Amino acid sequence: MQKVLISASSLPAGRNMSSQLEYVQRVGSYGADIYHIDVMDGTYTKFKTIDYGYIDQLRVNSALLFEAHLMVNEPDKVIDKYLKTSLSLIYVHIEVLDDDGIKKIIHKIKKAKKMVGLVVDLDTDIKKVEPYLDFIDAVLIMTVKAGKGGQTFNEKALNKIKYIRKINKDILIEVDGGIIPETGAKCVKAGADILVSGNYIYKNDTYEAIQSLRGKNG
Ligand code: DX5
Ligand code: ZN
């Protein structure tokens, strides 16, 4: 079985650059694979977080791959800023753009030689992402409603993972929200490749915590 990748969410480390720097290095030393930059601008979600301005300084101090989860209502207005950073993968919510907008932003991100993914929020029909699967690298399936950390995993996301995995064997499937070893194992069994974790890693704060998220597939 393929190794499960662990993506540590930037959210618990707050908006202060020095705490972000310290956190990215710490989760790196614990063996995380990816740093998941959660971006909220207070439009799609209630809260505000760090944004593109933090990415390169964090990246030069870390050996992790960086991805961004853009929880913003108008990603087309800010995408250029993110394309200039050292991100490897950029996720945009499927809910905030029409068909034309989705196609355009996928094209733009690919043209900048970055990986592109679409996020399907908890209450969104997974079938909405189907027409784009051949043009994207990854699907991020929310296992809570996007917007804040520390929420409880919602089991209804498991069928969405299975659905995507059944129709596409190769696409990367990432899950985000309420991931602990038990819920992570269910997602991996359903077909997920990458587990995002915020609170679980932050609160446990050990190498073992990250290994326990990988479970049997470490
Ligand atoms: C929330 C963010 C998540 C969040 C996960 O909407 O997208 O990445 O930080 O945090 P936990 O693991 O605490 O649910
Ligand atoms: Zn996220």
Give the model confidence (pLDDT) of 77-102 as tens digits: 999 999 999 999 999 999 999 999 99
Q: Which residues are CB-neighbours of 40 under 8 A, at least 6 positions away? A: 46, 47, 48, 49, 71, 72, 147
| pTM reported for the whole predicted model | 0.98
pLDDT digits (tens, 9 = 90+) for 161-193: 999 999 999 999 999 999 999 999 999 999 999
Mean pLDDT across 18-36: 98
Neighbours of ion ligand 2 (CB under 5 A): 38, 69, 176
| Segment 117-161, tens digit of pLDDT | 999 999 999 999 999 999 999 999 999 999 999 999 999 999 999
**How far is Cα 27 from Cα 205, in angstroms, rounded to an integer?**
8
38 is catalytic: yes
Percent of the chain with pLDDT over 90: 97
Cβ–Cβ under 8 Å, residues 5 and 31? no
Q: Give which of 122, 124, 85 is closest to 102, Cα–Cα.
A: 124
Residue span of the structural domain in which 134 resides: 5-217
Q: What is the CATH number of the domain that holds 75?
A: 3.20.20.70
The total number of structural domains that make up the chain: 1
Ligand approaching nearest to the C-alpha of 151: 1
Residues contacting residue 80 through CB under 8 Å, at least 6 positions apart: none
Ligand 1 probe mutation, 7, 199, 204, 210, most atoms within 8 A of CB: 199
